Structure 1
């Protein structure tokens, strides 16, 4: 087994253990043995993630950071040498300047020991177990992203990742990261960016749609992904979905005497011109548009006429009357 395989084996075991822990919690429903298994597996998975980091850092040095202090021989997976214990693991991670919420790790470790050896009655309630499990979610997400360079959505099964997103701290972190990523892109306007930020996935109604291709600087050239269900879009597809949703809103607002939000774009000929910010979501052309005859602003409902004639509907009607008289 080569160095890459050793790291991958530890990492894969970490992910499997975390998934088992979350599955145990979902199935527990008051079963104390399930709660014990959930916390045990989740914490074991977290420690394995930490060990995978040490394996990555010391892979060119016979995995020296991974070996327990009492072991003097080079790491050999076939001999299954004893790896670093909890306290030395934390110490070595700190020496590598790994920044984790160590107080929460300390609390999780203490709680794991408590339910492993004592399991006091007040330690096994759903709310308490959920609290400790939730505390680990943000740590796992951030460690995967910042320290190991992985996308956590791609590491876990879809239903497991969705459990992460149910946690308020993870959800808030995802929203903050989404806003940060969107702000780095070049948009047609601030109003267009806000419409994208407010949009919910049509497939699952999630409010977390992240930038998928982080190499792009222009919003219209990038791709997006729903962090809940994994649905992907290129810019045009997501902009069209937003326009369609706003068009549905039109039906209700028009009934109440409002004006249309989405209309025909004279520039790209798509039904994606938006009155919010007066900009086309597809091509970025800016309004308002003025009638070439009377100079008045052309209503969004008349833009298809304007695109063909350069006139508003009233001026077009007058022009047709003149032509008929001639």
Structure 2
């Protein structure tokens, strides 16, 4: 396809139409994925819901970019993937940077959209977009039945991004341009926000270690990956406490009804966030606490997030190096200086 044809075929209104269609299909897929099979529900629609919703938002972003200029040729240059720019000798001992090849038939990706937005002063919460993109990529590799809760989280987090973008950047009313689609997303978002707060309030006073509260928020249901977890009523009735009865205290998933132990979920969330690859020379930042024997001791903070145990000696008295748990028997010295001191004493 020639560059001239690419330019002539760009229709910003078509971008808008395709964006709204993708968002509508995504919302309908999401609604159907949550219905019971007897009512025409299909869990497999969960993945297509995420695909369509994310694609629709990106198309809406591209539409905004295309409308920043008046000339269709300029709009095409902004929307289609540009040729690479390579250095060339200028014949006088210097270099000049020139495009190599022509515009591609594919449109710009997320990274290039972000650059275009920066160039035109278009604001959007890119941290949320990156999180949604990661979620979309993650869901591509999972079975739909195990991701319904994560999809629900995805839709709830997408809602404010879409709402704000339509209002502030397009200058339109979301309910008008999205119609019934907007009502589907609005109802779900409101339910999600309200239920999230109810779940958070329910964990107050049941013995969640203070340092683990952020990781309670990051915990996900083992069955459906939802973040809507509340303390199981049976555990509350039995007067269990999370910090005292970690092998008994259970959660109940509001999204799917699954129950399971909450402590392992919190500990796993902490350790997944601090995952490392020793092949890249990385070192662990979380280890097993020598006081409570749980994998909740954060090395760089020198504290256990579960039992709040701290070190007697935090830095070497000689070199001021940060000390670890296994340095505590050295009387305030790092392993090197403790060894040096012992050697000197023997000599």
The TM-score, its normalising length taken from structure 1, stands at 0.45
Q: TM-score, normalised by structure 2?
A: 0.42
Q: Which has the larger radius of gyration?
A: 1
Greater relative contact order (Cα < 8 A, sep 6+)? 2
